[in-house]
Every structure is written in C-alpha cells, then in structure tokens.
Structure 1
C-alpha cells in the first residue's frame, strides 16, 4: 500500500469563459453563472480532493496588448474568484476553495474582514493564493508598480497586517455567555496600530476569532524571493519543476530550508507539483496522440502562437515564423520567466516555428517524456513521486464537468485502491485536511 498524497485542482484559466474554443461549449453552461463550477466541485469533493485553486489576473494587460489577451479569451475576461467562492462552498462540505488575491488590490483591513467572513461561512475551508503581480498597479490608484522583490516585500507586510488583525481578539475576549448576558470583553481586544512602508491602518478587526485555524495561505512563486515567502508564510506551495527525482528533491529541500529558517517545521507546508495529464483509454491511443503531435499543422502552430501571444503580451502571429526569434520584440513589461518558458533550450538561431512546434509536442507518461497515458500509467507516476517524499499534486485544467470527469473517472478508483487518494475527510476544515498526513 502506497503512502497517501494530497490532491488539488488548479483552475488555470481563472473565472473566465470556460468552454470557449472547445467542443464542450455546446453543453450550454453559462460561465458567468455558478452551476458550471458547482457541478465540477461536487465531483472534486466526491473524488477526495483537498482543494481547488482558482487562478486570477485582475488586469487585461497594457493598453497596447489588450486585444491579444481577449481576442481568443486566453487572458481575459476574468471575474473575481473571491466572489465565486461562496457558491462553491454552498455546493460542498469538505473541499477547500482557494481564490487568487493580489495584495495591491485590497487593503489589509478590508481583506482581513472579507477573508474572516468567508472562513466562518465555509466551515474553515478558505485558502488564499497570494500573487505579487506588479503590472496591475495602475488600476488601484497606488504608487508606480514595484519591482519583483518590492512586490514581495509589500505582500509580506500585507499578510503580516492581516494576521495581526485576525489575532486582535485575545484569548477569552469572545465570551458569548447568554446566562450572564456577556458577549465579549473589549479589554482583551488589541488595538493593532500598523504604520508600515506600504500600509497604515488600525484595528481591532470587526470579526470574531477562528475556531479551526486561519485561512490556508498558498503561494506560487519559484524565484528565491518567492520560495522565501512560501517558507515563511504558506501552508501550500504551488510548484512547477521537472518531475524527476533530482529536481523534486532539490526543490523540496529549498522550501523546507526556508521554512526552518523562518522558525517553522518542514511539515508545516505541503508542496504540490502542478501537472496537466491527458488520460486516454489505452497505451495505443496514447502512442497515436504523441505521434500525431510530432508534426503539428499550421492550425496547431497558430493556436500555440495565439496562446503564447496572450501570456507574453506580444503578437507572435505577426512575426516571420521561419526566421529566428528576436528577443528584443518583448518589452520590459514581459516576464523574463515567460520568455524563458517560450524559448526553452533553443538557441538564438532557432526559427520561431520550431520553438512553437516544441510546445505542441506531447510525450508519454510511461517513459516520463510527458503526460499522455492511461489512468494506470498516471497512477504509477503519482506513486513514484510519493516514493521520493512528494506531498501531492495539483491537476491543471479547466473547471468544466467534461474536463473533470475525463481526467478523474478512471483515475480515482485506481488511486483509491492503491491507497494514494483519501477516502474520507478530517474534521476541522482545510487546514485539518492538510495536516492529516
């Protein structure tokens, strides 16, 4: 019997036009209404998943690249995932829901009160995916956008302020004793007078204390500063790394070292590697898909170019696909990490068409060259990760019932029989489920 692991779903497209560009658009779900997402989270909870993380980007990008991002709905529109969360909590009883929040977009007192409210309403199942997007400053009436590390400094201060407000009700402050007619003791509330580099506010918070822990903090950053933030603050790290033993053990060692450096135990943070599997019915079908992807046609190349154009806020479709990619086409606003992911290991003389074709190519789970395979083959991979000490995985994809069932229908029974996937939940909400193993 294998050791159990934690499972989550990463809604990579955010609260946006689900189904757009796919045949399952004709299921006639309305992406702006909750039924689509409620149907899906019920399936995730039935499967025994710990949490759903909802990606978000509050901005459509720079004015000159907005059309690139919305032309095919790759980069927007996106509605606020925090406001979707109550509908998902209402449809489930155990699943954690983790909307993405940008510290630049919400003042600490407002954020602390909203998060506390959702934590109580959900039975302590709220998580917060803290992102430090620096390109949205113009929307929020704040100072010019910060650099990478400065944005993390602001996020640290924001979260520390929120936690101070959450803890502003001291032990015994909430009495709630009808027999003696006493609800609370104001003398036990801390004033919380914060005057920092980025925020100034006073407490105490107008929300009662938590009974089963604070909302779980999730972080996605892979830079040195991002890993330090995770080690100091997070209950879950959304991890991106090659899924080989050396890469995984080195990544986990960095996170654990950061946790220890900040006075925490390595067990305080669960590291979940994001994977986008393509589950098929047979090894022969997997081989067919992989072989077909080796020679992408013009439509496939253009589709990849359009997706990359949205992420990079640069119109790759307007470039000569048969000429080398000139990196000077990317402005200063474009993430260097996104450029590196586009180019990969290719050199400066590689034609753009070759770079894009590499993103269209698929690989087999069975030989660890990719993520196309049967449910049994994917379960083998999950067990292998567990043998290296892995905490769990985030399955990456749309939150559409068609997508969810396509991935999980055959996989869940196999993982349960192998002892990898939970069969029951702990009492006490998301934090309790994360601590269960």
Structure 2
C-alpha cells in the first residue's frame, strides 16, 4: 500500500535577492516586498504542502570574507524571515511557516513572547527552525564565540526557557468569562525564575497560553552527534541531509530515533524530512540530455559553482588554480565541516585538483538509476514511493521561492503524487502540529 508522506519546501537561499543571476529576475518581482513570497505560499498550500522552512544567517561572515557572501548574493543580504511570516500567514489558512531563529540573537523572554504572538495570530501554524550558528556571535555582544557543542548547550537552555515561560500559565489561569467578570486568575500564574549558564530571566510570560493547538513546532538541522541529540530531545521536525540510498536513509533515521529514545521521547515524535533538489523535466529524453550536458562542465560553469561554494566556505575558491589541489589548510577553523564535506565528497582534498571537486558538484544524475534527481514527474514519484517503503516521513524540496521555480517543479508532480496517495489532498484542523501528526 502506498504510504502518504509529508512535503515541505526548503527556501535554502533565505529571505534574499530571489531571481538574481537567473532569467527569472526579468519577471520584475521585488524580493524586498511580500508579493513574491505570498504568491508562492498560496501555491504551496494549494499543492498540499505541510510547511515552508526558511533558511537564515544573521551574519555576513567575518570582516575578511564579506565580499564572498555578497558579490553574487549567495550568502547575503538577507532580511529577517520571522518578520516575513505574518505576510505569509495572511494569505494562507493551513500552510505552516518555519523561519530560522538563532538563540544567540534574542533573549528567551522576548523570543517566547514574540513566538507566542505569532502562534496565536497564525492559528497555530508557526514553526521555529533552531540553528546554532556560532559565526554571528560578534553581532550580539562581546562574549567569546562558543564552540560547536557549547552552542547546542546554549540552544537547549534557550528552548527550555521558552517552554518554561510558555507553561507559566497553569490550567485554569485563563478564565475569560464575561458573566463572572473575571478574565484570569493570577494565583495560577507561575512566578518563573531562571538563572542559567547563558541566560537569566523571570516570568510569568505576558502572553496567552496556547490551548489545544500547542506550542510552535520545533525544527532543527544538523547531522553531528550533538546536533542529532538536540533533535532527539527537542525537535518535532528534523531537516535531514544524507546520501539518499536505502542504507544511508535507514541509518540516518535510526540515529535520530535512537536520539529520541535517549532524550526520553518516542521515535515517531520526530518527523524526519530529507532535503532534495529535484530537476523535473517533461520527458526521459530531456533528462538524458541534461545529464549528458553536465558531464564535462566548462570553466564558466565551474566558476559559477566556485562562487557559490566560496560563500558557503568563506574561502575564495576562485583565487586558486583549478588544476591543483586545495589542501585542507586553506579553510579557517570557523568553516563548517559540513560545507567542506559537500565540496570534497569522498575525494582526498590533499591530492584532488579543485577542477575535479567542482566538476563533481556540477554533474547531475538520473532518477532512474539513483545517481541523481533529474527525471520526469512520474520518475520522481516512483522515488518518493520507494522512500515510503523505507519508512520515510517526508521530504523538503530544496530551492528558491520564485513562482517560476515552484511551477516548474510542481505543476506535473502534484497531480501524480496525489493520484498515488503520497501527497495530502486536504488538511486537518488544528494547525501545523496537527497536520504533522495526521499520518
């Protein structure tokens, strides 16, 4: 029997210059205005997607590498996705919106109050993608930058503080009975006091409790042991990046499920959504042409990839000889190991020429032989169906939020997924948490 799965869209470029560097720029959308995102949010809801997850990074990186982030707009500028969320809630009724938030950037009381407000305004459709970016520390004070694991410790204290504040109204505290002339019972509000390693605050929270809709959904990325432990103990959705063969998918899911059990939760408390970037085309012949055309990228194609990787790695790859190895010493200690792995793959960075590394990233593969994600809508549906046979919870389709991209990806795919029973045809009441729990 075909297994229904959850679908989301991962706006991997964040709230930034959409269309830049592509022909879609000439559609004349203004990325700083809400219309582009509102139109796309309507499409995602019409398609039956559970959520839109919006990447963010509050920093342009170190002072020495800012130009790498902005020259092709890969790493900035970016506006705050939390402030975009109300515009998306306004034009949708069911779609969950999950902006990225950084515990270093806002104090627990302020964050708890803002998120509670949005949860009520949205009809319980808010999610929070909690990241532990340490490179932005200099923007939020003069405390030393935390290490990788310590940043997760801070995130756990921050999230526990939010939940403590959200729970500071006991059952029965809210009365709201005009006949009795009583709005609330102050004796049922907890005088919360927190003094921790990273934060200090008092409660109770000056915002209403959530009622049956529950608190905002918590999402998280991260594949390290500490990142998965955080997800297991805290998250409702895990953004998963993994090789997409059966063995790797099952192994990743097992690691998350083990982390959930160790965190005192059930394995199915965490919905694991693998991030994929499909290239949906009209025919198998077109797919073959696209894959064949990617096999021998020219220097211009490699330069475009180098520009993007330079932003992610905060290292100017365009300044190195394409025909010589990089060597691991070119990357500073602040550079994400995940970003380095995406560049290097299974190659030896000390001996592999940069041209080979960039060419590996440029090459595309076919869905039919599971070497990549270029294929027809039917072929992609076959793959999603196969993921379901492996016990998969769902996928996040990865791309920008330009309407051109959405229609190119979804127009043929959505009807096929629905006919096969993979994609929902209707929502349940109760908001994002209820729809994630529906199957």
Shorter-chain TM-score: what band?
Answer: over 0.9
Displacement of 1:142: 4.6
The within-5 A match list for 1:42-57 is 42-57=42-57
- Deviation beyond 3 Å, 4+ runs, structure 1: none
CA deviation profile, 1:81-124 (whole Å, cap 9, x unmatched) = 00000000001000000000000000000000000000000000
Q: Is it true that 1:251 corresponds to 2:248 in the alignment?
A: no
CA contact (8 A) 2:18 2:401 kept: yes
- Partner-residue secondary structure (3-state), 1:133: coil
Match of 2:41 in 1: 41
TM-score (norm 1): 0.99
User: Shift in Å at residue 337 of structure 1?
Assistant: 2.1
- Give the Cα separation in 1 of the matches to 2:421 and 2:109: 43
**1:356 corresponds to which residue?**
358
Q: What is the aligned residue count?
A: 437
TM-superposition CA deviations, 1:349-406 (whole Å, max 9, x none): 2111111111100000010000000000000000000000000000000001000010
1:123 aligned onto 2:123: yes
Correspondence for 2:399 among 388, 397, 403:
397
Say whether 1:311 aligns with 2:299.
no
TM-superposed CA distance for 1:326, in Å, is: 2.1
Aligned partner of 1:169 in structure 2 is: 169
Partner of 1:214: 215
Q: Please give the alpha-carbon distance, in whole angstroms, between the structure 1 residues aligned to 2:71 and 2:405.
A: 23
Distance 1:330 1:254 in 2: 29
Aligned-partner Cα distance in 2 for 1:243–1:329 = 30
Distance in 2 (alpha carbons) for counterparts of 1:37 and 1:367: 35
Matched residue, 1:380: 382
- Equivalent positions of 1:168-207 (< 5 A) are 168-207=168-207
Matched residue, 1:274: 275
Q: Measure how far apart 1:180 and its partner are.
A: 0.8
Q: How far has the Cα of 1:418 moved from its partner? A: 0.1
Give the C-alpha shift of residue 137 in structure 1: 0.6
Does residue 137 in structure 1 map to residue 137 in structure 2? yes
Give, in whole Å, the separation in 1 of the partners of 2:168 and 2:37: 35
Query: Quick one: distance in 1 between partners of 2:122 and 2:204?
Result: 23
**Superposed CA offset, 1:166-193 (max 9, x none):** 0000000000000010000000000110
SS of the residue corresponding to residue 179 of structure 1 reads coil
Q: SS of the counterpart of 2:179? A: helix
CA deviations 1:40-70 (Å, max 9, x no partner) are: 0100000000000000000000000000110
RMSD: 0.7
What is the TM-score with the length of structure 2 in the denominator?
A: 0.99
User: Structure 1: 5+ residue runs without aligned partners?
Assistant: none
Residue 414 of structure 2 corresponds to residue 412 of structure 1: yes
Q: Distance in 2 between matches of 1:121 and 1:112?
A: 14
Answer yes or no: is 1:74 the counterpart of 2:74: yes
CA distance in structure 2 between the aligned counterparts of 1:399 and 1:289, rounded to whole angstroms: 23
In structure 2, C-alpha distance between the alignment counterparts of 1:117 and 1:345, rounded to whole Å: 46
Secondary structure (helix, strand or coil) at the match of 1:105 reads coil
